[in-house]
Amino acid sequence: MKRALITGITGQDGSYLAEFLLEKGYEVHGIKRRASLFNTGRIDHIYQDPHNPNPKLKLHYGDLTDTSNLTRILREVEPDEVYNLGAQSHVAVSFEAPEYTADVDAIGTLRLLEAIRFLGLEKKTRFYQASTSELYGLVQEVPQRETTPFHPRSPYAVAKMYAYWITVNYREAYGIYACNGILFNHESPRRGETFVTRKITRGLANIAQGLEDCLYMGNIDALRDWGHAKDYVRMQWMMLQQDVPEDFVIATGVQYSVREFIQWSAAELGIRLRFEGAGVDEVAVVDSVTSNHAPAVKPGQVVLRIDPRYFRPAEVETLLGDPTKAKEKLGWTPQITAQQMCREMVAEDLKTARRHRLLKEHGLDLPVSLEG
């Protein structure tokens, strides 16, 4: 039986990857951070009681900033495969916490690779690094592929650029089977609530149910190549099953704007929107409501405004990936379109919003965080 270690197992991708590897018969180990609240909501459904004599999923307390902890866990687990998904993964937050982001995302990757080397696991342990389309930043070529030059535009992307190259370096210098997956944006109902797609689907579902009044957004003309996290974790595993380690772009090859994603989400709720005004004064107004998903919404209501707080000091305006190499060499193609994913996300957020509305109607109010 193969053993895998996942950093970031409590995150969006970590949870889908853990499910995927368990189904493949792996023993899965994950690193979770100590927090003052439970932070395992995304993996509770696959959690196994530690009193079980032979659990297939084991969690270890740890942190990518803690070298001795990472080294001890690697020594105990001796994994066949390490998936380094742990990161301070929010681009906007990285402008506010640049040093921490570098420590976790850049040096954290070095710590893991160096621990593999220090423990003499170079020939046993395969390493996957969660690299990102943010490396392309100010794009030099359209669409972006493995050979497109990098121009990172945030402390997050600069930290991930170090992680990318240290992964390549340990492959070249020490013969470690180490690969970068250069993944374009991927989402799901488990996406963190402050990333743009989930902020939109959750925010509009809450507005539809009367739990919030208005959604405040940043640059809604940004263009992204959005896929589904389920499709992308399959590819993370495939990359570690080859004879020779290589880096791959993972994308759908189709691009949409944040504005389009807003329109789709509203349409799923039976709301037709029209945009009025320009720049920071632009708003989205309800044109009509055609379903019972949105009982709290009325024509003429302003449901979205622009708030410059959500603009970034340096923006990545457009990203579009070319997944040809992944298709040709690994036979990978994404199965879920951005529109299908949007439908799934809205449906899940609407379910939650309905539950919250019912609780509220019965005097059992739950706080709905407006932070985005």
Of 16, 128, 156, 256, the active-site residue reads 156
CB 161 within 8 A of CB 135: yes
Of 7, 101, 132, 252, the active-site residue reads 132
Span near ligand NDP by CB under 6 A; candidates 21-29, 83-91, 343-351, 359-367: 83-91
Binding flags for ligand GDR, 220-239, as an x/- string (CB under 6 A): x-x-x---------------
State the Cα–Cα distance between residues 211 and 366, nearest whole angstrom.
Answer: 10
Per CB under 6 A, 152 contacts ligand NDP = no
Span near ligand GDR by CB under 6 A; candidates 27-35, 63-71, 101-109, 195-203: 195-203
Name residue, tokens 């380094």: 84
Q: Which is nearer to ligand GDR, 205 or 316 (CB)?
A: 316
Those residues with Cβ within 8 angstroms of residue 65's Cβ, 6 or more apart along the chain or in another chain: 103, 104, 107, 108
Name residue, tokens 């309800």: 286
Tell me the residue type at 12.
Q
Span near ligand GDR by CB under 6 A; candidates 104-112, 114-122, 217-225, 241-249: 217-225
State the Cα–Cα distance between residues 308 and 218, nearest whole angstrom.
Answer: 6
Whether 134 is a known active-site residue: answer yes
Among the listed residues 104, 157, 262, 303, the single contact to ligand NDP using CB under 6 A: 104
State the Cα–Cα distance between residues 188 and 198, nearest whole angstrom.
Answer: 8
Query: Using CB under 6 A, which residues numbered 44 to 63 contact ligand NDP?
Result: 63
CB 4 within 8 A of CB 80: yes
Among the listed residues 4, 43, 59, 85, the single contact to ligand NDP using CB under 6 A: 85
DSSP result, 293-330 = T-TT--TT-EEEEE-GGG--SS---B--B--HHHHHHH
Catalytic residue numbers read 132, 134, 156
Residues in touch with ligand GDR (CB under 6 A): 89, 91-92, 132-134, 184-185, 194-196, 199, 217-220, 222, 224, 258, 310, 312, 315-316, 372
